[in-house]
Structure 1
Amino acid sequence: MKKQYVILGLLLGCLQFAQAQFTLDGEFRPRTEYLHGFGSLIPEASEPDFFTVTRARLNAGYSTESYKMYLSIQDVLLWGENPQIVHSDANNHFDIFEAWAELQLGKGWSTKLGRQVLSYDDQRILGGLDWAQQGRNHDAALLKYSKDGFALDLALAFNQDNLASAGNLYATTALFSYKTMQMLHLNKKFGNLSASLLLMNNGFQNGTPGVSNLQTMGTHLNYKKGSFGVAANAYIQTGQRVGDVDVKGAYDLSLDLTYKASEKVGLSAGVEVISGNDAGAGETGAFFPLYGTNHKFNGLMDYFYVGNHANSIGLVDIHVGADFKLSETSNLSLNILNFTGEQDLAATGSSKLGTEVDLVISKKFKGYTLVGGYSQLFAGDDMYALKGVTEANAANTQNWIWTMLVIKPKFLN
């Protein structure tokens, strides 16, 4: 009799598992970089950086008809950072990248709660920043609706540093780490056109109990027909930045065109104009892209809006590119970008920042992919003044070389 109960229990367990889906996968992604002018001009006397950083992730997902759960655990390891036989992770980069549950509410509605990636449109304002080994996530509650080509996402967040400060409602002070966030994203598809509207408010802590609220709003349009594609962004910012700095007249406008010339060649061209700071003391007219995948824009060498250039002279980025399908498993891309300031530098009266060339090649093998790149900046006269390096003392070549291995095993599906 006891054996029959055991068999019945196993059958019921198998039935429940059959109605659900469990996935277990991972990622192993080491990247080696040689930096000789990445992010800023390097003086001639400075030594280049050279390092390897690995991202290791383990992802588990479980879904039923009524809910989904997802857990992503990662560690970011700088080769050689831990002394031999050390008993702990020195950099404290072992963490939970994602941990969320999504509940199905019926009639197209659902809610997603927990640590998650917020990525929308071309990732200009909100993106996962997958290039960075640590990635970007948000602790938020997300209400979602989707039906007949229309999607609505409403996100709400309130951040706290630690439980010890629970008696103090304001304890998040890192630059551009928001205390509160309210975000509404709407998307509608009209045949070949996809149109989005973003409304977002971020509250930044200014001590106790002050909060500065910054509003970002705008639209993303994407049209594709046949071999031709066009994408456009138009965003404005108003309100206050960190430190009660008034934001007035800040904007980001862009237009990108793509054309598939053949099965093996794709061409692109575009322009982006980001406003700079022309306001007086206590004010700014500079736009900041906030939580997007900024590495994707304005050159791969990250001279702008990646931990820098936040309240500077703005940017005009005119770029052209080409993608080549070398074979069924290999691709090559080339992009050329010309940079000028949206305003002139006060010190020089001009804004010739320079030209960047980005070359990326990828090759797929059985079970893994190799990617590599070379970038070089040809600095303009005003880039030296902007970055605080005199032209006479700067290195002759400002470049960046990298190579990355990507393995994404599927353990269970």
Structure 2
Amino acid sequence: MKKQYGLVILVILSVQLINAQFTLDGQFRPRAEYRNGFQTLIPDAADPGFAINTRARLNAGFTAETFKVYLSIQDLLVWGENPQIIPVDSNNSFAIFEAWAELQLGSGWSTKLGRQVLSYDDQRFFGGLDWAQQGRNHDLAMIKYKKDSFIMDIGLAFNQDLDDNGGPLFGFQNQGTTYPANNPFQYKTMQYLYAKQKWESFSASLLAVNYAHQNFDANGEADGVNSLLTLGSHLNYKKGSFGAAANVFIQSGTFFNGSTDVKGAFLLGLDLSYKASSKLGLGAGIEIISGDDADTNDKTEAFLPTFGTNHKFNGFMDYFYVGNHVNTIGLFDIHASANFKLGKKGSLFAKVLNFSGQQDLPSGENALGTEIDLVYTQGFKGFALKIGYSHLFPADGMYELKGITEELASDTQNWAWAMLIIKPKFLNTANN
């Protein structure tokens, strides 16, 4: 009888797989880093840091005629963090990175529900933050529409915490007490609209995002929310060997601390690209991010690229907008790059960036320095290797900005890393 039950289950699964697709893949990504000035200026008396960590992911997807389901689990393993023979993960890094279902509603409409990655255009405001081993995700409901070369997404999120007993807060007395108010990334609610139209050589998108943080009173009780509105557009032109991309964003509302009004905040960016030959690509660009003029304590003009993949912009050493440089002097970034193709699977990327503040520091200085980024990529059969090196030449303003004198800072501010990327494909029923 048990064999008959097993046979019935096998037949049902076989019928399901005939009309559906199941994929199972993963990622193994160890990265070693040498830090001698990453994100901030290292003092001469401090020793450089060195560490290795690994991202391990397992992804499963199921696609049927009327729905899709996707699950991604991951763990972040810092080499040596777990004591020997202790059967626990000491940093509690094991997590569900993505878990969503997408339902087809007909006539180009669908809805996507659950934990998912938001990544639009060049990832300037919404990005998956893939460089960071933990990545970035959002818990939300999305309404999607797609027809020909037009797409539109409407996202709605409401985040809630658990009570002291680990249960959901169904009552009204504590409803809304979720996340500290001083974290710009942990919002209470969010609503956004994204629309994009493509033409033959040009595309244009519109993004409107309103997200709110929880306010707390003097007793630590929830006391309403404060909202920040961001409006922006990404324009992209590509024809032949020439390309151009522009970002325009403005912000207004209340800063995530709940006590500072945001007025006149903006981000402007322009990047040009040119494919000089089959083995050489060139790029140049400029980005201006508004900063606080510091005339009052309850108002700021500083723009915050809140959910973007900020490591991709303003230098790989992450001196700006990666856990730092929030509500400060802003940024004026001029950069040029070259990408050399080396053989069939190799490349060398080089970029030079010059930084200054959009506003002046208290001393009147605004020059921040120059950074050089190098990334070598080599593909192999089934895996890839990336090696990077970055060097910062700080100006006087950088010492003032980071709170360290030139005499106490190390003469060399640099960062180096190496990363191995393996993405095994375990199963794909569409290929069977």
Query: Above 0.5 in TM-score?
Result: yes
1:392 aligns with 407
Q: Which of 157, 164, 172 pairs up with 2:178?
A: 172
1:182 aligns with 191
In structure 2, how many angstroms separate the alpha carbons of the residues matched to 1:23 and 1:9? 20
1:67 aligns with 67
1:352 aligned onto 2:358: no
1:299 aligns with 315
1:238 aligns with 252
How many residues align? The count is 412
Q: Cα deviations across residues 226-275 of structure 1 (Å, max 9, x unaligned)? A: 00000000000000012231000000000000000000000000000000
Structure-2 change in CA distance of 1:362 and 1:3 (3 Å):
closer
Shift of 1:17: 1.1
Contact 1:71 1:100 in 2 (8 A): yes
Q: Which of 190, 193, 201 pairs up with 1:192?
A: 201
Amino acid at match of 2:199: F
1:135 aligns with 135
CA RMSD of aligned residues (A): 1.6
1:261 aligned onto 2:276: yes
Shift of 1:165: 6.1
Structure-2 change in CA distance of 1:40 and 1:13 (3 Å):
closer
Contact 1:206 1:244 in 2 (8 A): no
In structure 1, how many angstroms separate the alpha carbons of the residues matched to 2:175 and 2:419? 42
Q: Cα deviations across residues 153-178 of structure 1 (Å, max 9, x unaligned)? A: 00000001225461322222341110
Contact 1:271 1:317 in 2 (8 A): yes
In structure 2, how many angstroms separate the alpha carbons of the residues matched to 1:274 and 1:392? 30
Amino acid at match of 1:85: I
Amino acid at match of 2:175: L
SS in 1 for 2:311: helix
In structure 1, how many angstroms separate the alpha carbons of the residues matched to 2:90 and 2:298? 40
Identity %: 61
Contact 1:173 1:206 in 2 (8 A): no
Contact 1:76 1:133 in 2 (8 A): yes
Amino acid at match of 2:177: A
Q: Which of 327, 343, 363 pairs up with 2:343?
A: 327
Q: Which of 293, 302, 305 pairs up with 1:286?
A: 302
Amino acid at match of 1:386: L
Q: Which of 299, 324, 328 pairs up with 1:308?
A: 324
Amino acid at match of 1:169: Q
1:204 aligns with 213
Shift of 1:10: 4.6
Amino acid at match of 2:325: H
Q: Which of 285, 301, 313 pairs up with 1:270?
A: 285
1:119 aligned onto 2:134: no
1:83 aligns with 83
Q: Cα deviations across residues 284-303 of structure 1 (Å, max 9, x unaligned)? A: 10000000000000000000
2:150 aligns with 150
In structure 1, how many angstroms separate the alpha carbons of the residues matched to 2:137 and 2:4? 48
Amino acid at match of 1:221: L
1:365 aligned onto 2:369: no
2:93 aligns with 93
Structure-2 change in CA distance of 1:192 and 1:3 (3 Å):
same
Shift of 1:3: 9.2
1:341 aligns with 357
In structure 2, how many angstroms separate the alpha carbons of the residues matched to 1:193 and 1:162? 46
1:220 aligned onto 2:234: yes
Shift of 1:13: 3.7
1:19 aligns with 19
1:107 aligns with 107
In structure 1, how many angstroms separate the alpha carbons of the residues matched to 2:76 and 2:287? 33
Q: Cα deviations across residues 23-71 of structure 1 (Å, max 9, x unaligned)? A: 0000000000000000000010011111001000000000101000000
1:247 aligned onto 2:256: no
Amino acid at match of 2:346: S
Runs of 5+ unmatched residues, structure 1: none
In structure 1, how many angstroms separate the alpha carbons of the residues matched to 2:41 and 2:24? 43
Runs of 5+ unmatched residues, structure 2: 217-221
Contact 1:250 1:287 in 2 (8 A): yes
Shift of 1:410: 0.2
SS in 1 for 2:90: coil
Contact 1:110 1:145 in 2 (8 A): yes
In structure 2, how many angstroms separate the alpha carbons of the residues matched to 1:232 and 1:387? 30
